[in-house]
Amino acid sequence: MTVSLSTVEDKTRATIGVRLFTVLAWVPERRALRRVHSSHPAEYPVGGEKTVEVAAGWLERCITGQEPYFGADNAAVREIFADHELIDSLGCGAVINVPVVDDGRTLGVLNLLDAEGSYDDDSVAMARSLAPLAVPALRELLEETR
């Protein structure tokens, strides 16, 4: 049985804490990220796509390098995300983005956001340990859209 992205959200909420949780699927043909799960569907609807409205180094780090991005404060969020005002309005000022990797291929990214100061290096390590839970659901979603 495939673990749903809602279950991944619930586990993340219980172990790390999160105000805003989204999952983005990587669409390499378009170099785009498509939102496939959202804890806040009014503000961040499923199906929305981001091309490069994030800093160039972010794509290189998370998608190509398969390394998490950790922004501990509002300044880090502002630096990376074009929609930082909406993020701020939700009370979020810290972010962890963790790539979801399957057999060497980046399938997508888990996005955890909470109040400034909510996350630390231990939070990043914990988020990284949860990312594999999303592999089956993302794999299934990506196969459906091919």
- Residue 22 host element (H or E): strand 20-27
Q: What is the mean pLDDT of residues 132-139?
A: 95
User: Is a pLDDT exceeding 70 seen at residue 35?
Assistant: yes
Compute and round to an integer the Cα radius of gyration of the chain: 14
| Residue 141 per-residue DSSP state | H
Mean residue pLDDT across the chain: 91
Task: Please write down the long-range contacts of 56-64, taking CB distance under 8 Å and 24 or more positions apart.
Answer: 58/97, 59/31, 62/97, 62/98, 62/99, 62/106, 62/109, 63/26, 63/99, 63/106, 63/109, 64/106
Report the amino acid identity of residue 14.
Answer: A
Sequence-ordered list of residues with C-beta below 8 angstroms from that of 40, at least 6 positions apart, any chain: 20, 22, 90
Structure confidence at residue 110 (pLDDT) = 97
Whole-model pTM: value is 0.93
The total number of residues shown for the chain amounts to 146
Exposed / middle / buried, residue 42 (Cβ in 10 Å: 0-12, 13-18, 19+): exposed
Structure confidence at residue 113 (pLDDT) = 97
User: Is a pLDDT exceeding 70 seen at residue 28?
Assistant: yes
Q: Per CATH, which fold does 5-144 belong to?
A: Beta-Lactamase (3.30.450)
- For 38-53, write each residue's pLDDT tens digit: 999 999 999 988 765 5
Q: What is d(CA 128, CA 68) in angstroms, rounded to the nearest whole number?
A: 7
